[in-house]
Structure 1
Amino acid sequence: MLRKFSFYFNNLALAQKLTILLLVIFVGGITFSGIALANILNYKAQNEITSNALLLLRTLNSVRYYTNNEVTPHLQASLGNEEFSPQTVPAYSSRKVFDALRKDNNSYQDFLYKEAMLKPTNPQDMADSFETEIIQNFRQNKNMQQVSGFRSFQEEKYFYVARPLAINDASCLRCHSTPEVAPKEMIKIYGDQNGIGWKLNEVLGFKLFLYQRMKFCKTLVNL
């Protein structure tokens, strides 16, 4: 086939040859420019989504800090050592705040938030195989503070941003060190295997935002 094309091309007039060459150059240039533009738009969109996700993470970190330092001590004082209220858990507060934010602000409808853990108190926070691999990477690379990329989730492809999650406050170990010292009401709700055995400053999971690929592509178009 290549020989036939070469024979046909060699028998064309000079003007026709130039026309074909210019057409090839034009099509090649358009193709290359399209690929380059798509990559640039893809990079800009990922940066925009990452910036939004990090802003949300900082906001939720503030919620966690407030809950842990202001709300929990007062509630625990009234509850006693044996009783338990989910409002004392920073993860519960951050999830509730994020759910309210998604409900009231259309800009965040396509974001999903999860605190993926290896040994969570709440089973809905259990890390899947993909998330477990990320947690192990965070554990092995102490200096790694963030990862992002694409993953398949609920039959959709999502862009994700993840940051490590560790217990830095010793007071949290009251509920998560051993079943014997944990509030009996918590053990009654979640069992004596969930959220137990945590260690101070150990990476236990990560905070994860997922952004749906379909909406992500629309973001590319709008940039």
Structure 2
Amino acid sequence: MSIRIRFIVIIGILSLVASVVLAYASYQFSVKNAMADAKKQGAIVFNMIHSSRMYFKKYQRPLVAELVEEDRFYPEIMSGFVLTRGVWEIFEKRFPGYKFKQATLDPLYPPNKADVEETKIIARFEENREMKDLAGKIMKNGKQFYYFAKPVHVEDKCLRCHGTPEDAPKDQVEIYGTESGYGWRNGQVVSTAIVYVPLDAAMVAAKKAATTLFVMGSAGILLLMAVIWFFLSSGVVTPLAKLEEKTRQISLGKDLDEDIGVHRKDEIGDLAKAIDRLRISTAKLLKRCSGK
């Protein structure tokens, strides 16, 4: 293998490795930024939901309790869960892709039933009741999400509706039945309010950016190799080949009166001068020998 080819191969391999490393670093950086952005969005959305819930608990619920008979139950104005769900349904129409769920182990409202992953999250909150929140990546229905979850602790006020069916408002029992949503205990973590922020678009963008960077890097490598090949050929290989041919002719005693023809101020020029001195010395030596 010629020096030129070996040099190009080495440069190509090193450049390719550099492009792969750069593309991977770009992908990781993009993913990190996407996760940070998703975390920020999740916190904003969750705080919006939480604020509406706190307003309901602080101002609306006490007023409604004074105006509505004890056994009456109007979910839209008396249930924090229903209120939050209604607020989210309006929000979701304007921002599709985001998801919110009041995942509950034993809910009155069946769609709130926690799935396997949500059950694990609730279990972690129950095991460590001092834990304020959980966050991370999760797959749901083949799509990737960033989730932000907070525990829902049972309070005394919750037991009016979720203690026993006998103590619950009659309207509630008529609406939801008595099969689930009861038997809660004060202080227990039975639910988690969880926001899902879609990540698929961000992940695709990260992969696209990394791929684009790799393709551009590869194109740059090819261009660099072409430039190096051209300069090696014109500046190194061709002059060396010419010097090699001149040296071979000198060794055969031919063209001793012709100049080497390579005049440069670099290492190859120095080599050409040395070969030219060899030509002159050989010519003088042959003349002496022929004179004898």
Query: If the TM-score is normalised by the length of the shorter chain, which range does it land in?
Result: 0.7 to 0.9
- Does 1:72 find its partner at 2:61? yes
| Structure 2 unaligned spans of 5+ | 210-292
Q: Which 5+ residue runs of structure 1 have no aligned equivalent?
A: 1-11
Distance, in Å, in 2 between the alignment partners of 1:123 and 1:56 is: 24
- Of 161, 184, 187, the residue aligned with 1:201 is 187
Percent of pairs identical after alignment?
Answer: 23
Report the alpha carbon displacement of residue 218 of structure 1 after superposing the two structures with TM: 5.2
**Deviations along 1:81-121, whole A, 9 cap, x unmatched?**
21111121112112222222232x4xx32201101010112
- Structure-1-length-normalised TM-score: 0.84
Matched, 1:38 2:27: yes
User: Which structure: larger Rg?
Assistant: 2
Q: How do 1:1-223 residues align onto structure 2 when only pairs under 5 Å count? A: 12-86=1-75, 87-103=77-93, 105=94, 108-167=95-154, 169-217=155-203, 220=206
Say if 1:218 and 1:99 are closer, same or farther in 2 by CA, change over 3 A.
farther
Residues 53, 80 of structure 2: 8 Å contact kept? yes
**Any idea what SS the aligned residue of 1:95 has?**
helix
Deviation at 1:219, TM superposition (A): 5.8
Bigger drift between 125-134 and 210-219 goes to 210-219
Q: Is the 8 A contact 2:39 2:146 kept in 1?
A: no
1:114–1:125 CA contact under 8 A, matched in 2: yes
How much is the aligned-residue C-alpha RMSD, in angstroms?
Answer: 2.0
Q: Could you tell me how far apart the structure 2 residues matched to 1:164 and 1:125 are? A: 14
C-alpha contact 2:39 2:148 (8 A) present in aligned 1: yes
Letter in 2 for 1:215: A
The count of corresponding residues between Structure 1 and Structure 2 is 207
Does the 8 Å CA contact 1:68/1:88 hold for their aligned counterparts? no
Residue 72 of structure 1 deviates from its aligned partner by 1.8
CA distance in 2, matches of 1:140, 1:147: 13
Scaled by the length of structure 2, the TM-score of the pair is 0.65
Indicate if the aligned counterparts of 1:158 and 1:213 stay in contact, CA closer than 8 A: yes
More helix by share: 2
- Greater shift, 187-196 or 123-132, is seen at 187-196
CA distance in 2, matches of 1:91, 1:218: 35
Cα distance in 2 for partners of 1:217, 1:182 equals 47
Matched residues in 2 for 1:202 and 1:219: separation? Answer: 42
Q: Distance in 2 between matches of 1:219 and 1:51?
A: 18
Residues 72 and 171 in structure 2, CA contact (< 8 A), matched pair in contact too:
yes
Q: Cα distance, 1:210 vs. partner? A: 1.7
* Aligned-partner residue type, residue 32 of structure 2: Y
Paired AA for residue 179 in structure 1? P
Larger strand percent: 1
How far, CA to CA, are the matches of 1:210 and 1:52 in structure 2? 10
| Mapped partners of 2:151, 2:139: distance in 1 | 20
